[in-house]
C-alpha cells in the first residue's frame, strides 16, 4: 500500500518539475549579537556580508552597533547606535557609499 502511494507521488512530482533561470553563486553571511552590560544596558551588534562569488567580491557590507537601555522587563528598550554601509551594484561598475 505504501509503495503504491510512493510510486504515485514520485510520478506526480516528476510531472511538476520546472526550469528556472541560471543562478550565479553568492552568499549572505549575517551575525547578530546582543550582550548584556548591566541590568539596564545592552550592547547590540550586527554584521552582514554579501558577495557575488563566495568571498572577495563584496556586493554589500553592513556594520551596525549600538547601546540599548531596557525600559521594562518585557524587552521594551531604546537603542542608539551607528551604521556603516558599503554597497556596489551587481554590474561592478558603480560604487555607492552611504
- Does residue 20 fall inside a structural domain? no
Identify whether 79 is part of a domain.
Answer: yes
Q: Looking at residue 32, what is its pLDDT? A: 93
Place of cell 553568492: 26
In a domain, 18, yes or no: no
Q: Domain limits at 38?
A: 25-97
What's the pLDDT at 48?
93
Alpha helices in 19-82 (DSSP H): none
In a domain, 12, yes or no: no
pLDDT digits (tens, 9 = 90+) for 39-97: 899 999 999 998 877 667 778 899 999 999 999 887 788 999 999 999 877 655 555 56
CB 54 within 8 A of CB 25: yes
Q: Is residue 62 part of a domain?
A: yes
The reported pLDDT for the residue numbered 30 is 92
Asked if residue 3 belongs to a domain, the reply is: no
Task: Give domain status of residue 14, yes or no.
Answer: no
pTM: 0.59
- Tell me whether residue 92 is in a domain: yes
Name the domain count of the chain: 1
- Tell me the C-alpha to C-alpha distance, in Å, between residue 49 and each of 6, 12, 34, 58, 62: 42, 40, 18, 7, 7
Amino acid at each position: 500500500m505504501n509503495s503504491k502511494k510512493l510510486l504515485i507521488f514520485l510520478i506526480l512530482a516528476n510531472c511538476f518539475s520546472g526550469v528556472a533561470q541560471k543562478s550565479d553563486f553568492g552568499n549572505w553571511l549575517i551575525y547578530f549579537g546582543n550582550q548584556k552590560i548591566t541590568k539596564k544596558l545592552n550592547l547590540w551588534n550586527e554584521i552582514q556580508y554579501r558577495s557575488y562569488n563566495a568571498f572577495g567580491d563584496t556586493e554589500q557590507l553592513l556594520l551596525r552597533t549600538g547601546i540599548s537601555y531596557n525600559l521594562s522587563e518585557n524587552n521594551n528598550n531604546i537603542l542608539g547606535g551607528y551604521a556603516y554601509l558599503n554597497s556596489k551594484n551587481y554590474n561592478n561598475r558603480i560604487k555607492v557609499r552611504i
